[in-house]
Amino acid sequence: MTRHVDTAEVDGVRPLAPQEFDQIRQLAYRTFGLDLKSGKEELVSARLRKLVRGGGFRCFQDYYRSIVQDRTGKSLLAMIDALATNHTSFLREPDHFQFLRDQVVPALGARDPIDVWSAACSTGEEVWTLAMVLNEALPHRKVRITASDISNKALSFAQRALYPAERCHGVSATWLSRYFAAEGRPPVSYQIAPAIRAQAVFRRINLVESYSWPHPFPIIFCRNVMIYFDRQTQERVIAGLSQHLEPGGYLFVGHAESLTRVSHSLEYVRPAVYRKPGKKEAMWNK
């Protein structure tokens, strides 16, 4: 006879109750914009269970209380890290990089340095892809990538820039030899070369809070994070990004993040590419 084993019996944590899910849902929404719709109970339970157990809590309610009471904010950051999706890859959504190289770079004229903001950069693959594409296209120009994410864990990984070989499968052999240092024979991992690493600076930014930059950017990549936000939050985030975009500057969003239902002030250029109205090519690069 098979016996039903309650999860609580196995690891000493009571299953996530509906009101506990609701508390966590509201906290995640308030603090980092994550829109956890109903139906995500299992995901929340699976992603947070380790933290609940690790903190010695018997139930999600106690765990939730400890986050709210933690003045250091560390428990909240750990919750955000556990709930956020960090999936990314080198050359993700490659037509964006093709458009950047073929259409945006020529319009940059003689600009030097070239400034790009990679917002919600996760573990850095997008940052280094941008650096490599711009170095290829403009070998004698200074490239400056400003990279941000809400997650300190993701930012540390991105800064270390050391990737297991299987995460570099999409990268050409030429780029691997030009921009990476292989470790092991055959390589088990690749680290981004110091000259490329020196082109990026990292900063923790929560896109749903206010932040500031000393200057606007001609190019912003903010991809595959707004998909986790509701329309209201998307509008707020787009308004923030637009404010930090130069007139004539380009915003790249994820292909799954159409802004058709979102009210914003940008011009549609092509799928997942928008432009801030203002200066056109002839003036933009001056």
Ligand X SMILES: C[S@@+](CC[C@H](N)C(=O)[O-])C[C@H]1O[C@@H](n2cnc3c(N)ncnc32)[C@H](O)[C@@H]1O
Interface contacts to ligand X, rule CB under 6 A: 32-33, 84-88, 92, 120-122, 126, 149-151, 154, 205-208, 223-225, 254
| 7 residue type, one letter | T
Taking CB atoms, the residue at the shortest distance from ligand X is 88
**Cα Rg, the chain, nearest whole Å:** 21
- Nearest Cα residue to 143 out of 250, 246, 248, 219: 219
Please give the torsion angle defined by the CA atoms of residues 178, 182, 185 and 186, in that order, rounded to the nearest 10 degrees.
-70
The bridge status of strand 273-275 relative to strand 245-253 is antiparallel
* Exposure string for 123-156, b = 16+ CB within 10 A, e = fewer: bbbbbbbbbbbbbebbeebebbbbbbbbbebbbe
- Tell me the C-alpha distance between 57 and 206, whole Å: 28
Closer CB to ligand X, 32 or 284, in the complex? 32
Closer CB to ligand X, 122 or 146, in the complex? 122
3-state helix, strand, coil in the chain (%, to 5): 45, 20, 40
* Exposure string for 53-63, b = 16+ CB within 10 A, e = fewer: eeeebebbbeb
Q: How far is the CB of 286 from ligand X (least distance, A)?
A: 30
Q: How far is the CB of 8 from ligand X (least distance, A)?
A: 30
Cα atoms found within 13 Å of the Cα of residue 98, Cβ hemisphere only: 5
**Directed axis angle between helix 41-54 and helix 18-32, to 10°?**
90
The one-character DSSP state at 38 is T
Q: How far is the CB of 184 from ligand X (least distance, A)?
A: 26
Closer CB to ligand X, 13 or 119, in the complex? 119
| 95 residue type, one letter | D
Closer CB to ligand X, 134 or 208, in the complex? 208
Q: Tokens 């509906």 identify what position?
A: 18
Q: How far is the CB of 122 from ligand X (least distance, A)?
A: 3
Q: Which token pair is 100?
A: 């950047």
Closer CB to ligand X, 13 or 226, in the complex? 226
Report the phi/psi class of residue 33: left, alpha or beta, with left for phi > 0 and alpha for psi in -120 to 50: left
Closer CB to ligand X, 85 or 265, in the complex? 85
Q: How far is the CB of 242 from ligand X (least distance, A)?
A: 16
Closer CB to ligand X, 85 or 243, in the complex? 85
Closer CB to ligand X, 224 or 234, in the complex? 224
